[in-house]
Amino acid sequence: MTSSGTTSLIRKPLKKPEFVWHGRDMEVQLFVGNPPEEHTIPNQYIYLTNSHLNTQTSNVIYYFFLFGAKKKHPIAVFQLIPSDLATWISPAKAPFGGIQSIEKSLCDEIIFLLKCVEKIIGIKGGKRIIIKTSPEKYDADGHKKLYTCYKRLGYEPKEIFKNHLITVTDLPFFHIIRSAEKRRLNKCRNADFTVILIEKPDIIEVYDFIRSVRDRLGYGLSLRFYEFENLAETFPNELKVFGVYDHGKLIALTVTILVNHEILYNFLPADVVEYRCYSPMVMLMDGVYQYCQQMKISTIDLGISLDHLGNEKTSLIRFKENLGGKECSKITWQKNLDTQTVIRAIEDCGTGFMSDDR
């Protein structure tokens, strides 16, 4: 309270970056640990947020922010962690990491950012960087720009996966799926199955259902319960669970993640083996599709299609395409960093300086 009787607002001091590098009309800031809350870009993917990254790893997270000439808000963001003494990765465990940038950012600016990243990795003794990127159709123009940047800096595709996305339109789901899936959807309807968005799902029951289905198929579940619980508690509004019921009996469900306000990721689907003659997954995706229509979400990400051994699963690809999924690439980039690479990075972006030295 001031002497005049009015309440004064006390602003939290801005956290200072560990390092800052300057280029021509651009700046890169590095934060180790939690970055300032205001350092975000419009419609940032959930997997690139501090909140999500902290659910994925206990390692120290390195946050890089690229600023343009105006330097008010970042024009690109990037995070990564040291996986071991030699390898640095982005992301820790999420479906993807990599760089996300605004539309007006330039390739030269992104390259400057990557050179600053390489410099830090080299100084820390790292020898390799691996970047798992988002599906190309998340942002087709941005993907082309980043592809050019990675190639110009000598990054090579380590893995290229087939990813499938469903574009949500005003058309009913029944109109975008193929004939075989239409018959399966009608079969579920004729059996009086119902699909719902499960309000306030019991996380233990959801996890146990998925794990039991995976165990019966011999797949197992790499996601531990405490990780799933942490994710659900951290993102109660972004994590949505849909279920298909046979007169009150849960026979299929999927856990979805709202990546941003445009994209919903089909994260953990599972269905009871005895009901596969009905294919309740088709009805499940009908419910997810209708929810996206209601919420104005334009894309459903069905993910990549691998079996429990990490091999491409053609039957799953075919099923996703029968549901209206369209194929796009999802690239994991890799670059080996030798001494000359680090020296060039230092020459191009400078040594940088501690923020307190300015």
Question: pLDDT at residue 349 above 80?
Answer: no
- pLDDT for 224 equals 94
Rg (CA), the chain: 23
Are 49 and 55 in contact by the 8 Å Cβ rule? The answer is: no
Number of structural domains (the chain) is 2
Q: Write phi, then psi, for 312 (nearest 5 degrees).
A: -60, 135
- Residue of 22, 63, 120 lying closest to 348 (CA atoms): 22
Q: Is residue 303 part of a domain?
A: no
Structure-token match 């075989």, residue found: 180
- pLDDT for 358 equals 39
Average pLDDT for residues 294-302, to the nearest whole number? 98
Whether cis (ω within 30° of 0) applies to the bond prior to 236 is no
One domain, residues 241 and 337: no
d(CA 19, CA 356): 9
pLDDT digits (tens, 9 = 90+) for 103-158: 889 999 999 999 999 999 999 999 999 999 999 999 999 999 999 999 999 999 99
Q: Is residue 319 part of a domain?
A: no
One domain, residues 61 and 146: yes
Question: pLDDT at residue 254 above 70?
Answer: yes
- pLDDT for 2 equals 45
One domain, residues 70 and 173: no
Question: pLDDT at residue 37 above 50?
Answer: yes
Question: pLDDT at residue 345 above 70?
Answer: no
Q: Write phi, then psi, for 249 (nearest 5 degrees).
A: -95, 125
- pLDDT for 58 equals 86
One domain, residues 131 and 174: no
Percent of the chain with pLDDT over 70: 91
State the residue range of the domain holding 180: 169-297
Question: pLDDT at residue 351 above 60?
Answer: no
Give the CATH number of the domain where residue 180 resides. Answer: 3.40.630.30
One domain, residues 192 and 104: no
Question: pLDDT at residue 5 above 70?
Answer: no
Confidence class of residue 186 from pLDDT cuts 50, 70 and 90? Answer: very high
One domain, residues 64 and 109: yes
One domain, residues 64 and 174: no
pTM, two decimals, is 0.91
One domain, residues 157 and 27: yes
For 23, 118, 232, the CA distances from 113, given in Å and listed in that order, are: 10, 9, 33
- pLDDT for 54 equals 92
Q: Is residue 6 part of a domain?
A: no
Q: Is residue 24 part of a domain?
A: yes
One domain, residues 180 and 134: no
Task: Measure CA of the first residue to CA of the last residue in the chain; give whole Å.
Answer: 34
One domain, residues 78 and 180: no
Are 129 and 335 in contact by the 8 Å Cβ rule? The answer is: yes
